[in-house]
Structure 1
Amino acid sequence: MSKIHIIHENDAWTAPLFAALDARGLDYQPWHLAEGRVEANAIPPEGVFYNRMSASSHTRDHRFAPELTRQVLAWLETHGRRVINDSRAVNLEIDKLAQYRALASVGIETPRTIGAVGRASVLAAAKDFPSWPLILKPNRGGAGAGVQLVESPAQLAEILDDPATEWPLDGIWLVQDYIRAAEPCITRCEFIDGRFLYAVRVDTSDGFELCPADACALPTGRERFEIIDGFDDPILRRYERFLAANGIEVAGIEFVRTPDGRAITYDVNTNTNYNAKAEQAVGVSGMGQLADFLGRALDEVRHRKAA
């Protein structure tokens, strides 16, 4: 019997989705890929496979979960299974330089970014920028992990020389323009089934860790997430083209609005979460909408199999 398979490595992030699936009586199976195996010549089960693998898995001691997921997704795709957020999506999830290339290919503006491997290359890359501060972050990060605002060449050298600095998993540091925002916030646009759901204003006063999941809440006592009523912007059409071109059906995409009105896109989250308090304030449920989408996809798979 076909069912919905949820590929993931974080029980806290999937619990709200499982609750939404349970509420709808949908048949699903969690598939935790922190570790496991792939049998190359085996036949995969039937159903819908929703990939929720995260670039930040290494911060939960699941170092090789994305690599395992890539192999599993390739195996599923070889056998023609219905995969939501396919192997192209997981490749972009763990490679921000690839994200920026893909965004630029459909006319989406991103911050100027230089990838560099090695201390000397990082310092040399920073010299190519005309002004400070700059952003330093790992090419493979996730949930804001490792993102730092750097005010000077001396501070950059101190960060790189500090034994406590955790270097990127793939060895690639990103040196990036710091985008001065019109307000201390970013905008996160949520998409399900490749279509715009809503936009969230996210307060950035407390730093770069902007994961909206309740499990990621910072102990500030202040609400950081607010769904924007009636949000519309020409960039949404470009985002939808980007998603369609890269095998992504569910995502959150973040941009900064500059004082002159430009939207500078800096992150794509193919493993997206939703903030319950912000949703309750306007009576919407991202996980509910996602569960409905997965249910429709399962119906389509079952109908094709029965035909």
Structure 2
Amino acid sequence: RTVPMGAGEDYFLFATAYPGITEISLDIDDAVSWDNLAYVYVPALNKKRVLYLGRDGPALAALRSLPNVEVTTEGVPEGHDLVVVSGNATGDGNLNQYIDGGRVIYIASGDAESPEYLPVRLDGVESGPASLWVRSEGFAEGLHFNEIGLFSYPRAASRRGSTVMVEANGRPVLSYWRLGKGVVLYSGLELDSDFYLRPEYPIFWYRMVSWITDVPDIVQSNHKTGETVHLGEAAMIETPSTRFMASSLLLDQVGIYRYHGQIIAANMYDPKESSLERSLEVEAGQFKEISRETTVENDLSHWIIALAALAMLLELAVMRRRREA
């Protein structure tokens, strides 16, 4: 849609931002072209199909409470956007084939089994209580992990290439890694804790499911230039002008940024600059010439002392020369 506007005119434009990228531009020629462009990215909110394997528990109840999520407890992983595996689930050979390009959340149950696809190695259970330490917030930003009562937790060790988000006494309790085009996330938070009793529990699952299935929050998808986005791991980043590998992203240009299937829009939008209520009348200022005399104290005593010392040295040199003569 094109709207003709003259200099100094105001125009209210209402438009629906559909899922995808919307570009708004001003067709003018001025000194700064970057602020004539604006981008809005709206993530697609398609319903996600989730397969839950294992006995019923708080995680299943949280999944069923989420919007745009269809949960089933029977079937094969193929065709689902996400598979949630409780540690007490029976082995499934189809899961190994699905992992290479799918999304899996594994909930540890304390059993001795340690699947090879996990980002950690499991070896028993550690006794608590223990305090949780957040190493990389990611999708869990703002959740109060320090208030969770953790009474026991899996004895886990990180595998090379994994990213630890939360740990307890040096043991990872929330971590993930990428296998091929797939992502596997491990959670040891539900073995023996009061996490499922807290109001943040369904919020945690909502954010985790949205993150692992590539459904970012609309607020997190639109930023102002100058901000820094921490990715939590090294990723190939595509900016409006180049490509590079990094674990943090500085939004130093207006445009669209892409990494790991995620999209971020960056703009130079300034509410004050775009205000329709600002006055166009500018009062001219007046310049008045003023002259005045100022006395400046300048201490020259150090120069006088230096000259006196130099004269004494010169006199001593002359006297010594006369004695030698």
TM bracket (short chain): 0.3 to 0.5
Larger RCO of the pair (alpha carbons < 8 Å, separation 6+)? 1
Q: TM-score, normalised by structure 1?
A: 0.34
Larger helix percent: 1
Larger strand percent: 2
Q: Rg: which structure is higher?
A: 2
Q: TM-score, normalised by structure 2?
A: 0.32
